[in-house]
Amino acid sequence: MRIPFFYGWVVVAVAFVTMGIGVNARTAFSLLYPPVLAEFGWSRGATAATFSVGFFASAVMSPFIGMAMDRFGPRLVFPVGGLMVAGGFMAATLTTQPWHLFATLGLFVVGGSVLIAFVGHSAFLPNWFIRRRGLAIGIAFSGIGVFSLIAMPWVQHVIEVDGWRTACWLLAAVVLVVVLPLNLIFQRRRPEDLDLRPDGDAAPVATAGGQLASNVVDPAWVAVEWTLRRAMGTARFWWLALANFMGLIAYYTILVHQTRFLIDVGFDGETAALALGLVGTFGVASLMGLGALSDRWGREVVWTIAMAGYVMCYGLSLALEAAPSWALMAAMVIAQGLIGQGMATCFASMPADLFQGPNFGKIFGVLSLAATSGGAAGPWLAGTLYDNFGSYQPAFAFCVGAALMAIFCGWMAAPRKVRRVAGQIREA
C-alpha cells in the first residue's frame, strides 16, 4: 500500500523521536554528574572524563558506523545502539569505582549513543533529500529540543526524589521500549530501497526555461566517484574535519559542564536542569530555522551564525561567573540554544554536499572521527582546567577560540564551490 506522501518524512519522524531520546539520554550525564560527584567525592576532571571516554570510544567507532550504515542501514545499526545505551544505564547503577563509570555511562551510554545520535543519522538522512536537505535534517534533529524540555526536568526530579540510579533505570526502559521497535519497523536507509527518488521527485526537477535544474558548481568534482581514499586526498576533507573538531569542542564543553557551572555560581539544581532543557527547546527553532536557511543562504553562512552563537554563549558564561544574574543566564541559554544548536544541520549537510555518493557513509564516519574527538577533548579539558585553576574561565576562553577557528575552517572547506543549495539555484 502506497502512502499519500513522501516516505522520507516518515524517516524524518522516526529520526525525530530517536534523536530526541538518544541524545537526551546522553545529555542526562550533565544531570547525573553532580550527584555522582557528591556521592563519591571524585575530582571533577576524573568524573567528567567519563563523558570524554565515551566520546573517544565514539571517535573510534565512527568510521565503522559509516561502513555499517552503508552495508546494513539504520534498521540494524540503531537497535544495536539502543541496546548499548540501555545496557550502560542499567550497569551504571552498580558503580563503586571511577572505571565503572567509564565503562558504563562512558563506553556504553555516551559511546553507544553515537549510533542513534548525530553520527548515525547524519550517515544516511542526507540520502533522502537534496533540495530540502537542511530543512529535513533540522526537523529530525529538533526532536532533541522537544524531548529535552520534558526529559531534563523529569530526570532531575527523579534524581532528587529517588536518586540517580533510579533515573538510570527509567532512561534504560524508555530506550528499550521506544527506540528499538520504532526503528526496526519503520526506518529505511535510502529512497531507492522503496523505488523512490530524493525529495519524492518523480523525475529530475526542471527550471521554468525547460532546462534541468542543477546545483552543480564544480562538475569535475561532482563527477568523481568519491571513495574514502580519494576524499582524504583533498584539502576540503581536512578543513571540514578540523571545522567539526573545533565545533564540537564548543558544542559539548558547555553542554557537559553547564549544570555544575550554574550550581557553582548560585542557581539551584532544578533551575540548572530547566536551563539545560530550555537550551534544547530553543534548539528546535534553531535547527528548523537555520536548517531551512541553510537551503537558501548556504551552509557556510549558517555554520558561521551557529558558531557565533557559541562565541556569545561562552562570553556570557564568563560574565555570569563574574556577576551571576538571571538575565545573563537567560542570554547564555538563548545564545546556546536559539543560535548555536543550529550547527548540527551543517554537520550533516556539508559533508553530503561535498562527498555524496555510494561511499558517503564511510567518508562521513571518518569525518566524524575528528568531530567526536573534539566532543571528547572539550569536556575533559574543561574539567581538568577547573581542577587546576578553580574556575571555568580558562576553559570557556579557550572555547571562544575554538568556535572562531571552526568558522574559518568551514569557509575553507567551501561546499558552496561544489554544489549550490536550492535557494541559490533559483537565484542563479
CATH of domain 8-200+212-427: 1.20.1250.20
Are the beta carbons of 108 and 131 closer than 8 angstroms?
A: no
Radius of gyration of the chain (CA): 21
Write out pLDDT tens, residues 79-112. Answer: 999 999 999 999 999 988 888 888 898 889 988 8
SS3 content of the chain, % helix, strand, coil (to 5): 80, 0, 20
Looking at the chain, the whole-number percentage of residues with pLDDT higher than 70 is 96
Cell of 174: 524508555
What are the Cα distances from residue 292, in Å, to 114, 134, 165, 337? 25, 6, 40, 17
Q: Of the segments 21-35, 45-59, 209-223, which one has the largest average pLDDT value? A: 21-35
Mean pLDDT score, 319-331: 90
Write out pLDDT tens, residues 26-52. Answer: 888 878 888 888 888 877 777 777 877
Looking at the chain, the whole-number percentage of residues with pLDDT higher than 90 is 44
Question: What is the pLDDT of the chain when averaged over all its residues?
Answer: 87
- Which phi and psi (to 5°) does residue 115 adopt? -70, -30
Q: How confident is the model at residue 203 (pLDDT cuts 50, 70, 90)?
A: low
Q: Which residues are registered as beta bridge partners of 206?
A: 212
What are the Cα distances from residue 291, in Å, to 16, 346, 376? 14, 8, 25
pTM as predicted:
0.79
